[in-house]
Chains A and B, each alone.
Chain A
Amino acid sequence: MTRILGSSAVMVAFATAMLGMVLAVAGTRLRRPELVRGAYAAVYVNFGLLAVASLAMVWALVTHDFSVSYVAQVGSRATPTFYTVISLWGALEGSILFWGLVLSGFSAVAVWLGTHAREDRRGDGADVHRLMPYAAAILLGIGAFFYLLLVLPANPFLPVSPVPADGPGPNPLLQNHILMAVHPPLLYLGYVGMSVPFAFAMGALLSGAPGGTWIRLTRRWTMAAWMFLTAAIIAGMWWSYEVLGWGGYWAWDPVENASFLPWLTATAFLHSAMVEERRGMLRVWNLSLITSTFALTILGTFLTRSGILSSVHAFAEGEIGYWFLGFIALVLIFSLSLVAGRSDQLHTAGRLDAVASRETAFLLNNLLFTVFTFTVLLGTLFPLVAEAVRGVKVSVGEPFFNSMTLPICMALLFLMGVGPALPWRVASRDALRREVALPAALAVVVGIATAVLFGGGVYAVVTFTFGTFALAVNVRQFTSGAKARMRAHGEAAPVALVRLVGGNRRRYGGYLAHIGAITVAVAVAASSAYKGETEATLRRGETMSLRGHTIRLDDLWGRQEPQRFVLGATVTVLRDGAPAGEMDPRLNFYTTSEQPITTPAVRSRPSGDLYLNLMAVERDGSSATIRMIVEPLVPWIWAGGYLIVLGALISMWPARRREAAPATVFAPAPPLVPGSAAARPLAIADPDTRGART
């Protein structure tokens, strides 16, 4: 019953999406608004259908209905209910279903907001009306592809006969840590979110309204999708660090790169979009960036699901790869020919006024992100190229990626300090000097101190130097702005800070995201350059030490849990010979996996982590081999991730509105500065009009 409900829902969704696409295009061409309304209705109906299908699957999972193929594949009576529910995205078919659900939901919200946008705040109401049907058609088209996958090659609702009594349960790696509940959905939210700006961009081109309207309409979507993608990448790093037991968080694995590539182009887009909004420049470039971002999200899924590259994320799925390949080809042909074919209508209005200006900083930023993207793409695909051209199997590892991308990271770090210090159009030499003198002096001091006290190689020293510089410049944006308010309005410091940020959320959210990114960069540099590790086999009561940390093995134990057997070590952390805390690294044995899955024990302090991994336990329980790793500043990577997310949230948070009106996508952000809000109704999505200086 559940099976039939679910499979018919996705089948109807596919048919509805196809019909809606036809209605949208026909309605626009024939000037029949009722047909276009039908297309919008199809978007809403699909959301309902996918919600029904997803609920049916969750129901089947929770009730252990093994007559449903997906449940027979990932379900198990022994798995705790929580992990049973999240195994909705634990394997291919379920993750496509979840993707479809998110896509249909996003499409519904995007279409609703677009069609209910308040009229003509910037004189672009006509553009909105022209592009919406096409944007809806593109969203329905993307949806149709995913619903077709659910009907044919990735159908999670196939019958199983005879019905098994029990299933294997989800992949043990995926039921070992709470972060696994978070990482995949965040990634899908990020990936799928990029469909919306892409659809609006294509809609703008198709409708012949290729101005900046689509960028204004989708600014929050891009920001939100980027935020989810950032959070997903950080959560993936965190999960890998907490679960895989190798003490690292990034390995340049093809699937990691697959999530990183669209992040790079999206980050570039977030910056270059500002140049188009402000100066009317870079139109073709922005369309190319958003197209690349969307194509890279599909490419990422293709790489993950086709198994064409060897990866630790072992999802061998086979046939579905051809479907994604076809879809990538379709997306590339459609969007590239559209952007290129319409490029002569996209004359750029503005031009660079001076070399030392914020525009230049943004252009450099884009150049660096583009080179970064190509480098990672090349490294990721090189094994495939080598095999195609020379027939040899090669693997591209960390040394290539590190040596190629670290210089780019350094340059970006430096630019993150220079950019905010530069005003739009042209910078005066004196103003620039005032802005950067103190941060530069601070950076030199920290750089020299790092080199003398810690050493650690050129990259560590440069990261600390540039990191200090960029951090100081970005923090100064807050402090000097708040100080000005304190003087002008006599406000207390916290009030001044809150009002400053509230008055220009987009800008200060951006600076906060910078501070987060700088924090991540510095923490990554410190944890790799100053990492220490050692391994020893200890009997009970014996101790081992590393970098001033001492641990003592106290006990070894085992316990049977419903879905696994757990072996653990109880270890006491000693400070000056006295116990200062307990840690328990574990090994988990799942029935369906030959190799034990580790649960490392991590003791986090602001200065860094002590990381213990249980490598092996002697059969008679007399001794255990423990790997001990000391990694400075690791918690700051996660903290930096939170800061970036917070910055993005502030940046896209809708401002309070005076009159009651339907929510709009291109919601203006009237500054909360008293007296100025009413006077500046056209500060829409362009709150930076006061120039770079506050």
Chain B
Amino acid sequence: MNWQRAAIATAAAVPLVALFAYGMTRDPREIPSPLPGRAAPDFALEVIRAGDEPSTGGLQPGDTLRSSELRGQVVVLNFWASWCLACRDEHEVLSAAARTYADRGVRFAGVLYNDRPAAGLEWIAQMGGQSYPAVLDPRSRTAIDFGLYGVPETFIIGPDGVVAYKHIGPVTTPVLTDQIERILPPIAAAP
């Protein structure tokens, strides 16, 4: 065994491996969404399940959740489906956040995406309820308006109706809290 040659040959492989290692730290699919910083598209979505107390927001099944009526409030719009595995991971995070922020005027809504309403309702029951209303998006109109790539995706809309943040994949409590606190008027400033 000629160890000198072996070492030289091995050294030749280092740059390639280093390049791949660098590549692992990058995400070529990072798609800059044009939405954050712009006005959220208008929507009118039918409620199929009211949120569990205490954060119903006054909506009952059959009512319509309208973007126009949400002005002045922070809105968290979450797109989900019963066939989506990642949606299970974030469900409790969203439900808890909706309870926490209910008295500070943050409105949550879960938009059922490409799914049968019955399957969606059954899923919520299985997951042990949901503190915010579930709404329907027939023919994925709103999903298309929001430029959805897949589920789950979560949009946070400011009181001015501008999209403040877009999250792809399951949200976590720290991300959700940070982003909401960022645009929510501080408690001290409230009258």
Contacts and interface: CB of A to CB of B under 8 A. Distances in A.
Interface of A: 72-73, 76, 160, 162, 164-169, 302, 306-310, 314, 316, 321-322, 325, 328-329, 332-333, 336-344, 381, 383-385, 387-388, 393, 591-594
A524 to B, nearest CB: 28
A336 B122 CA distance: 57
Nearest to B84: A168
A339 B9 CA distance: 9
A315 B179 CA distance: 29
25 contacts: A73-B85, A162-B127, A164-B82, A165-B82, A166-B82, A168-B81, A306-B20, A306-B24, A310-B29, A325-B17, A325-B20, A329-B17, A332-B10, A332-B13, A337-B9, A337-B10, A338-B6, A340-B2, A340-B10, A342-B2, A384-B26, A388-B22, A388-B23, A592-B81, A592-B114
Contact of A340 (B8, B20, B26, B85): B8
Interface in B1-22: 1-3, 5-10, 12-13, 16-17, 19-22
Interface string B154-186: 000000000000000000000000000000000
Contact of A166 (B1, B23, B119): B119
B70 interface: no
B1 A341 contact: yes
Interface of B: 1-3, 5-10, 12-13, 16-17, 19-24, 26-29, 81-85, 114-115, 119, 122-123, 126-127, 140, 143-144, 148, 150
B140 A594 contact: yes
A681 to B, nearest CB: 37
Given A336-B9, A337-B10, A343-B2, A165 B119 contact: yes
Given A162-B126, A594-B114, A328 B20 contact: yes
Contacts of A594: 114, 140, 143-144, 148, 150
A165 B27 CA distance: 34
A605 to B, nearest CB: 40
Contacts of B5: 340-341, 343-344
B115 A309 contact: no
A165 B123 CA distance: 8
B119 A341 contact: no
Contacts of B115: 591
Contacts of B27: 307
Contact of A333 (B10, B119, B150): B10
A165 B12 CA distance: 52
Interface pairs A-B: 4 shortest CB-CB: A340-B9, A341-B6, A308-B23, A337-B6
Contacts of B126: 162, 164
Given A166-B82, A306-B23, A340-B6, 18 more contacts: A165-B119, A308-B26, A316-B29, A322-B24, A328-B17, A332-B10, A332-B16, A333-B13, A337-B6, A340-B5, A344-B5, A384-B23, A385-B19, A388-B22, A393-B28, A591-B114, A594-B114, A594-B148
B48 to A, nearest CB: 17
Nearest to A299: B20
Q: Identify the interface centre among B1, B27, B143: most chain A CB within 10 Å of its CB.
A: B1
A341 B22 contact: no
Given A340-B2, A388-B22, A591-B115, A308 B9 contact: no
Contacts of A337: 6-7, 9-10
Q: Identify the interface centre among A169, A328, A329: most chain B CB within 10 Å of its CB.
A: A329
Nearest to B115: A591
A333 B21 CA distance: 15
A88 B152 CA distance: 25
Contacts of A338: 6
B71 to A, nearest CB: 28
A418 B168 CA distance: 56
A336 B29 contact: no
Contacts of B24: 306, 308, 321-322, 325
A308 B17 contact: no
Given A307-B29, A342-B1, A302 B20 contact: yes
A593 B119 CA distance: 17
B111 to A, nearest CB: 13
Contacts of A329: 13, 17
A325 B24 CA distance: 9
Contacts of B7: 337
Contacts of A593: 114
B181 to A, nearest CB: 28
Q: Identify the interface centre among B9, B22, B23, B126: most chain A CB within 10 Å of its CB.
A: B23
B5 to A, nearest CB: 4
Contacts of B84: 168
A164 B86 CA distance: 12
Contact of B26 (A166, A332, A387, A592): A387
A310 B83 CA distance: 26
A628 B80 CA distance: 38
Contact of A310 (B13, B20, B28, B144): B28
Contacts of A343: 2, 5
